[in-house]
Amino acid sequence: AQSVTQLDSHVSVSEGTPVLLRCNYSSSYSPSLFWYVQHPNKGLQLLLKYTSAATLVKGINGFEAEFKKSETSFHLTKPSAHMSDAAEYFCVVSDRRGYQKVTFGTGTKLQVIP
Amino acid sequence: DTAVSQTPKYLVTQMGNDKSIKCEQNLGHDTMYWYKQDSKKFLKIMFSYNNKELIINETVPNRFSPKSPDKAHLNLHINSLELGDSAVYFCASSQPALEQETQYFGPGTRLLVL
């Protein structure tokens, strides 16, 4: 069994300040972890992924995430928020056994204040 | 060059009608998925097909019937539509043979049942 918990349903930051979106997971196997972003009325776009290589993963648009096995966390960060970062962010866990079965978190809505 | 495309983008229909949503991917992937995103943005997997064979069926009512004529297409037919079927439906594809598989999402089909 696997699950993923996004600890904040809404996060509000000022433009130019750091972003932290929190994600905790549980998995019976060595998981793959992903962050996806969904802009209003758009599909989902992959930001970054962890698949057992480097624990610090860099993604698109300046985002990065660190896999911490001891804390079962995969928090998403960005040093400086931009207005265009306002969107819904989903943390996703995959158990990588055979055919991929993924579980989505409930999403975190990021608001960026000018 | 759209990687995963869905038609229609919007679908408004009456209760009790039967409707279909089409999905096509040009990525050469073997596996395709259907997800349902509810009004609270929660994403839940419905079906997964690998090389035209059903591999995941997540307790979806049998009014929903996926059909995969070839591995590049996965269509979703819904019989006797109900109000609760109103949601955004996302198609996705991936290549499970690769350890670092990533799911690529279509733009979504916004279904409104009146």
Share of chain B residues as helix, strand and coil, in percent rounded to the nearest 5: 5, 55, 40
Taking the C-alpha atoms of residue A111 and residue A89, their distance in angstroms, rounded to an integer, is 11
Taking the C-alpha atoms of residue B78 and residue A22, their distance in angstroms, rounded to an integer, is 36
Report the pLDDT value the prediction gives residue A96, as an integer from 0 to 100.
64
A1–chain B Cβ distance below 8 A for any pair: no
Taking the C-alpha atoms of residue A49 and residue A114, their distance in angstroms, rounded to an integer, is 29
Collect the ranges in chain B with pLDDT lower than 70. 1-2, 96-101
Structural domains in chain B, CATH included, are 4-113 (2.60.40.10)
B99–chain A Cβ distance below 8 A for any pair: yes
Give me the residues paired with residue B4 across strands.
Answer: B25
Report the pLDDT value the prediction gives residue A100, as an integer from 0 to 100.
60
Is residue A52 scored above 50 in pLDDT?
Answer: yes
A5–chain B Cβ distance below 8 A for any pair: no
CB contact under 8 A, B40 and A43: no
Structural domains in chain A, CATH included, are 2-42+64-84+92-113 (2.60.40.10)
pLDDT digits (tens, 9 = 90+) for A29-49: 778 899 999 998 888 999 999
CB contact under 8 A, B108 and A43: yes
Residue in chain A nearest B10 by alpha carbon = A41
Report the pLDDT value the prediction gives residue A99, as an integer from 0 to 100.
57
CB contact under 8 A, A107 and B101: no
CB contact under 8 A, A102 and B103: yes
Tokens of B1: 């060059």
- The mean predicted confidence, pLDDT, of chain A is 90
Residues of A in contact with B99 (CB under 8 A): 51, 96
Comparing C-alpha atoms, which of B45, B18, B15, B22 is closest to residue B108? Answer: B22
Is residue A57 scored above 80 in pLDDT?
Answer: yes
Taking the C-alpha atoms of residue B89 and residue B86, their distance in angstroms, rounded to an integer, is 9
Is residue A64 scored above 70 in pLDDT?
Answer: yes
Give the residue, A55 or A97, on which the prediction is more confident. Answer: A55
Please classify residue B59 by burial: count the beta carbons closer than 10 Å to its beta carbon, then call 0-12 exposed, 13-18 middle and 19+ buried. exposed
DSSP per-residue codes, B11-34: EEE-TT--EEEEEEE-S--SEEEE
A97–chain B Cβ distance below 8 A for any pair: no
Residues of B in contact with A106 (CB under 8 A): 40-42
Is residue A19 scored above 80 in pLDDT?
Answer: yes
Comparing C-alpha atoms, which of B21, B32, B25, B23 is closest to residue B2? Answer: B25
DSSP per-residue codes, A41-55: T--EEEEEEESSS-S
